[in-house]
Amino acid sequence: MTLHIALLLFDGCDLLDVGGPYEVLLTANRLAVRAGDEPPFAVTTVAVDDRQMTAYGGLGLRAEVTLEDLGPVDVVVVPGLVDVAAGTGDARLVEAVRELVAASEVATSVCTGSFLLAAAGALRDRPATTHHEDLEALGRRHDVGSVVAGRRWVDTGEVVTGAGLSSGIALGLHLVDRFAGRDLATATAAQIEHAWDPEGADQVV
């Protein structure tokens, strides 16, 4: 069964948070097809309202669909951003994250995307991680259960939070491992030439 994964895009999102898991999932699909199997993932980029936006630093991005036209989704990936206060203060963005979380079986984040998950109510009573510089700030929030340092991701079943930036690659590989198997995840890590620890304990600070 193909798993539908929605990757949220918005103005100011971190490009590596988006591109890391995106590239991993597409590579896993390519390797699966090469082996004669069906692609395990259908990856869709989704915007809140306007499909055209600008990532942090000025690179233009264009989502495939808006939230209104997304359709069914199994997993959502929420990237982070540099201006966390602006993101969590954007009521429409937070509401969009809340809608995506409610519509999906598993909600994930990369880097400071965990703050958006928290603002959307997805991290209450749950352990979570984020960029190492932001762990203290995440821990001060009333809507986060606890924070975990030294991990590339924290998987609580319905919610998976990734650490900073390049951890989006490790998070993507974890999703491949969880939903399509260790063999494909290992092959994908080798294909993209990424040193991946399946246990997620390779955080470098």
pTM for this model (two decimals): 0.96
Domain architecture of the chain: domains with CATH: 3-191 (3.40.50.880)
| pLDDT tens profile 79-138 | 999 999 999 999 999 999 999 999 999 999 999 999 999 999 999 999 999 999 999 999
Phi-psi region of 94 (alpha: psi -120 to 50; beta: other; left: phi over 0): alpha
Spans of the chain below 70 pLDDT: 202-205
- For residue 113, the tally of other CB atoms under 10 A from its CB is 30
Q: φ and ψ at 180, to 5 degrees?
A: -130, -5
Name the one residue in this structure whose structure tokens are 């994964």: 5
Picking from 77, 80, 100, the residue whose alpha carbon sits closest to that of residue 12 is: 80
- For residue 20, the tally of other CB atoms under 10 A from its CB is 27
